[in-house]
Amino acid sequence: MSESPKKVIVGMSGGVDSSVSAWLLLQQGYKVEGLFMKNWEEDDGEEYCTAAADLADAQAVCDKLGIELHTVNFAAEYWDNVFEHFLAEYKAGRTPNPDILCNKEIKFKAFLEFAAEDLGADYIATGHYVRRADVDGKSQLLRGLDGNKDQSYFLYTLGHEQIAQSLFPVGELEKPEVRKIAEDLGLVTAKKKDSTGICFIGERKFREFLGRYLPAQPGKIITVDGDAIGEHQGLMYHTLGQRKGLGIGGIKEGSEDPWYVVDKDVENNILIVAQGHDHPRLMSVGLIAQQLHWVDRQPLKGTLRCTVKTRYRQTDIPCTITALDDERIDVRFDEPVAAVTPGQSAVFYSGEICLGGGIIEQRLPLTAV
């Protein structure tokens, strides 16, 4: 007697990647159902009422593919485990990455548990551009085949046991192939643009949005030489390496180069700027990372040669990492790196394999060496 097909619940976002993921899994012989997650309930004026449109698109795709679509509300989990942390980090003057926390707490925790326990799933699937490899009984996380779309940076907090329960069908394809499949199938999502903005909250005027939850705290903008040249409305609105939106474009100090944020003095609420995107004050020779996650769940001992990304879409940087203890590591780059930002994630690779990563606690500036 043949085994019944394994059941996969696909996280249907109403986008093209999850739509094609569902179709690919059907072709591979799985029993496929969709799940649409509603994770934000705060304000939804008409301008931001995208959730209803996304649900309609997800339903249209599921109808076309002949699969059932479930819905679930994780708004409480999102608020408690993602959004409050996001606000606390901004309030502390750091720049968090909500997509990483959202994957950790919602897509590969709340969704994974709900799919397994309530819907009887053997696996979940998402439209992430990553790949999975099973080696010696453990699942590894690999970069997506499409280097332009690889999303392993956002999934480094996953352990091998979560990856073993997850399928990533579009990770083996390039984005144009995915869109072509959707077009050939006549899916409503074929030409839909990729979502951007804050995970599950979407695109909105960031300054205005953050201002609803955190009061503005104006302070001085000073140059690296100590000259006050303007006022900021809150350190939370600025990140290292930022050029636009500083309101000091007309001011020049012996150079025509634009101004960049090179540091934040959180204690004194001061934003520090310099002219030129490669100003030495913006460069770092390394970083200290904490809140570590290793995909194989084995803490690093001693030292390791690998590569690191300190932000998404960055070219890999060769580095040496040294364990300070189980919770913190010292990372030294082979070459200085610009705009290493506390609160963001440092993610480590060995070739195609994503090893894991951690939160940047502090940068080690070039100028202090």
**Is 319 known to be catalytic?**
no
> How many residues are recorded in the chain?
369
Interatomic CA distance for residues 69 and 182, integer angstroms: 18
358 is in an annotated binding site: no
Q: Which two tokens stand for residue 48?
A: 């931001």
Among candidate residues 62, 199, 319, 354, the one labeled active-site is 199
Interatomic CA distance for residues 197 and 215, integer angstroms: 21
Write down the residue that tokens 């399928």 correspond to: 167
18 is in an annotated binding site: yes
Please return the burial class of 356, using the count of CB atoms within 10 Å of its CB with bins 0-12, 13-18 and 19+.
buried
Interatomic CA distance for residues 283 and 262, integer angstroms: 9
Give the closest residue to 343 by CA, choosing from 147, 101, 32.
101
Q: Three-class SS of residue 119?
A: coil
Interatomic CA distance for residues 193 and 173, integer angstroms: 18
Interatomic CA distance for residues 148 and 140, integer angstroms: 20
Other beta carbons less than 10 A from residue 138's beta carbon: 16
340 is in an annotated binding site: no
Other beta carbons less than 10 A from residue 42's beta carbon: 12
Please return the burial class of 209, using the count of CB atoms within 10 Å of its CB with bins 0-12, 13-18 and 19+.
middle
17 is in an annotated binding site: yes
Among candidate residues 49, 62, 102, 306, the one labeled active-site is 102
Interatomic CA distance for residues 165 and 244, integer angstroms: 42
**Is 354 known to be catalytic?**
no
37 is in an annotated binding site: yes
14 is in an annotated binding site: yes
Residues annotated as catalytic (active site), given as ranges: 102, 199
The annotated binding site is made up of 11-18, 37, 127
The annotated binding site for ATP is made up of 11-18, 37, 127
